[in-house]
Amino acid sequence: MNFYREGAEVLDKLDAKKGSIQGNLNAIAEKNRKRTAALVIETLKYKSALQNIIASTPLLTQEKRLITSSNLALVLVHDLLFARGGIQASDGPIKQAVLRHQTRLKAELVKLKIKKGVQDNEGLAEKGDDRASHIPRYVRVNTNVWTLDGAIAHFEAAGFTSIPSSDLVPEAKQFSVDPHISHVLCFNPSVPFATSPLLAEGKIILQDKASCFPAYILVPPDSGGWETRKVVDATAAPGNKTSALSALMGNKGKITAFERDSKRFKTLQSMLKKARCQNVTPLNKDFLGVDPGDKIFEGVTHILLDPSCSGSGIVNRMDYLLEAGEEEAGVDQARLLKLGSFQLKMIKHAMKIKSATRITYSTCSIHKEENEFVVYDALISEEAAQAGFTLAPREEVLPAWPRRGQSEGTALSQELAASLIRCVPGEDRTNGFFVACFVKSSPLVNKQEGKRPREEDHADEVVGGTPRKMRKAKKRKVKQG
Ligand SMILES: C[S@@+](CC[C@H](N)C(=O)[O-])C[C@H]1O[C@@H](n2cnc3c(N)ncnc32)[C@H](O)[C@@H]1O
């Protein structure tokens, strides 16, 4: 019965807006976590149907001494009606209390299905955001542990058919290799990976395709020479991008992974262990709290920056809630501006690390305030000017990805916007996402000579990645504001 109590407690905390689903599940002892996570997610999926059914019976009033909360009723009735094998607990007074009402509960389930015009229980599940149904279930093959060929052979032997990549979501027993990220496989969202042993073995990582972009852009596949390289992941937990970086570097070289939150740091540690990342040193430290001249950063050339954001790009499919990096409440203008200024501070801090030559900045937000505006402000900053940072050209930033940054309504030229990546949920088969890549010298500055143009010769061209006119306009705006 503890299992049900634990699940009900997580639901109580979510009702009280105390933390995210992921955060609350992480607080549960690891041996019970998988089972409780499945119970919580499944109950949430059927929450409104279950509430409806329970409210039509006298369960809560007649059994209030034993069924002490409505969430305890939800998890128990969920299993009674929807789980194979019913309530998974030995006979005891609480189970008996629910069973006393089972005939009525089952009759109410039938009535509800008729009322809703659905054939089966699945028809009662919350659909979440409709855009989520256009997003395949992405599975990243962790090459620290497994190979792409090994994974393909495994899934084929398990009865899945490999199909060519297309714009359609694969059918239930099909999969395809993603055309943009070579170690990512696309499945139908209904394939139940959350309880797969491949996850526990670290062979696969459930990670939205767009979330793989930053590591892929920072450390292009097959780029080699990582044995002696030093990389920083400035905002690492839960560790999806850190483990992707680790794999792209062939588990070689050194990645220092910062995470300031102590609870999330524990998740990061366990993720890195599971994904067998031998080249990562996790640090429970605030990235902004470490001086850019500190010896931790000595020789660091590449930095992945994926700071906290509004999360406005994450579309609501129940199981995606489990993957969200960090949930932020509300996305009002004041909140966006506050987030934007924090994100800019993080980029500027990274730019001050002398040896850094390449920095990716990413968010799972759809708002310009956290994306193009932040990039523009970073480009015109003193830090960028002093270190010589500008944007990497499109050719270096996943050129085959069609949707680029927005110049309209922003101060970025079309050329600069084209070197940014955007993903739109519902249109791009991914969650909403944004990536920029800052580099110390870029062909955008002066393609012919590989050096900056003389200012007097090119009064309106790019300086420090930003047209001079815009820089002036921006300065005027800042002064006026
Ligand atoms: C969007 S999440 C990162 C997700 C992660 N990159 C992944 O793909 O799994 C942002 C993380 O940065 C952490 N964070 C925010 N500010 C930080 C700082 N100044 N130093 C270190 N970590 C920070 C947050 O606690 C949070 O865990």
4: tokens are 């049900």
Question: Quick one: which atom of ligand 1 is closest to the CA of 363?
Answer: 1
Task: For the chain, give the mean pLDDT.
Answer: 87
Domain count, the chain: 3
Same domain, 182 and 223: no
- pLDDT of res. 20: 67
Q: Is 370 in the pocket of ligand 1 (CB under 6 A)?
A: no
Q: Domain residues for 327?
A: 212-480
Same domain, 146 and 285: no
90: tokens are 């030995």
Same domain, 108 and 48: yes
Same domain, 398 and 296: yes
Does the pLDDT value for residue 299 go beyond 90? Answer: yes
Span 180-186, average pLDDT = 95
Same domain, 263 and 141: no
- pLDDT of res. 193: 85
CA atoms of 340 and 374, how far apart (whole Å):
6
- pLDDT of res. 181: 95
- pLDDT of res. 168: 84
CA atoms of 303 and 257, how far apart (whole Å):
10
363: tokens are 């968010």
CA 48 – ligand 1 centroid, Å:
33
The answer on whether 332 is annotated among ligand-binding residues is: no
CA atoms of 385 and 401, how far apart (whole Å):
29
Same domain, 475 and 365: yes
- What is the CATH number for 464? 3.40.50.150
Q: Is 307 in the pocket of ligand 1 (CB under 6 A)?
A: yes
Same domain, 6 and 91: yes
* Beta-carbon-side half-sphere exposure of residue 383 (alpha carbons within 13 Å): 21
The most confident of the ranges 10-19, 276-285, 305-314 is 276-285
Name the residue with higher pLDDT: 304 or 478.
304
Same domain, 350 and 374: yes
Does the pLDDT value for residue 449 go beyond 60? Answer: no
Please report the ipTM that was assigned to this predicted complex: 0.99
Question: Which of 205, 229, 244 is the last residue in one of the domains?
Answer: 205
Same domain, 194 and 274: no
Q: Which of 14-18, 27-31, 140-144, 441-445 has the lowest mean pLDDT?
A: 441-445
- pLDDT of res. 212: 98
- pLDDT of res. 318: 54
The answer on whether 306 is annotated among ligand-binding residues is: yes
Reduce the secondary structure of 157-177 to three states and give it as a string: HCCCEECCCCCCCCCCCEEEE
Sign (positive/negative) of CA torsion 377, 381, 384, 388? Answer: positive
Other beta carbons less than 10 A from residue 445's beta carbon: 21
| Closest C-alpha residue for ligand 1 atom 4 | 325
Same domain, 342 and 453: yes
Question: Quick one: which atom of ligand 1 is closest to the CA of 239?
Answer: 9
CA atoms of 63 and 180, how far apart (whole Å):
55
CA 234 – ligand 1 centroid, Å:
7
* Beta-carbon-side half-sphere exposure of residue 312 (alpha carbons within 13 Å): 17
**Is the separation of the CB atoms in 439 and 357 below 8 Å?**
yes
Write the CB contacts of 341 (distance below 8 Å, at least 6 apart in sequence): none
How far, in whole angstroms, is CA 411 from its chain's centroid?
Answer: 28
Does the pLDDT value for residue 194 go beyond 60? Answer: yes
* Beta-carbon-side half-sphere exposure of residue 470 (alpha carbons within 13 Å): 21
- What is the CATH number for 199? 3.30.70.1170
CA 235 – ligand 1 centroid, Å:
3
Q: Which of 72-81, 290-299, 429-438, 462-471 has the lowest mean pLDDT?
A: 462-471
Does the pLDDT value for residue 442 go beyond 50? Answer: no
Question: Which of 175, 205, 235 is the last residue in one of the domains?
Answer: 205
Indicate if 437 belongs to the active site.
Answer: no
Output phi, psi for 187, to 5 deg. Answer: -125, 175
Question: Quick one: which atom of ligand 1 is closest to the CA of 258?
Answer: 21
**Is the separation of the CB atoms in 241 and 266 below 8 Å?**
no
Q: Which of 111-125, 150-164, 263-277, 336-350 has the lowest mean pLDDT?
A: 111-125
Choose the catalytic residue: 186, 277, 364, 423: 364
| Distance (Å) of CA 71 to CA 61, 186, 452 | 14, 35, 63
CA atoms of 174 and 159, how far apart (whole Å):
9
CA 237 – ligand 1 centroid, Å:
6
Question: Which of 205, 231, 246 is the last residue in one of the domains?
Answer: 205
- pLDDT of res. 327: 43
CA atoms of 218 and 248, how far apart (whole Å):
10
- The length of the chain is 481
| Closest C-alpha residue for ligand 1 atom 12 | 235
Same domain, 60 and 76: yes
CA 46 – ligand 1 centroid, Å:
31
pLDDT exceeding 90 applies to what percent of the chain?
Answer: 69
Span 114-137, average pLDDT = 85
* Beta-carbon-side half-sphere exposure of residue 241 (alpha carbons within 13 Å): 34
| Extended strands (E) in 58-199 | 137-141, 161-162, 174-177, 184-187
Q: Is 239 in the pocket of ligand 1 (CB under 6 A)?
A: yes
Same domain, 260 and 195: no
- What is the CATH number for 110? 1.10.940
Does the pLDDT value for residue 311 go beyond 90? Answer: no
- pLDDT of res. 133: 78
Q: Is 258 in the pocket of ligand 1 (CB under 6 A)?
A: yes
Q: Is residue 316 very low, low, confident or very high in pLDDT (cuts 50, 70, 90)?
A: low
CA atoms of 269 and 432, how far apart (whole Å):
27
Output phi, psi for 308, to 5 deg. Answer: -55, 140
Does the pLDDT value for residue 134 go beyond 90? Answer: no
The answer on whether 130 is annotated among ligand-binding residues is: no
CA atoms of 217 and 204, how far apart (whole Å):
20
* Mutational pocket test of ligand 1: of 20, 259, 433, the residue with most ligand atoms within 8 Å of the beta carbon: 259
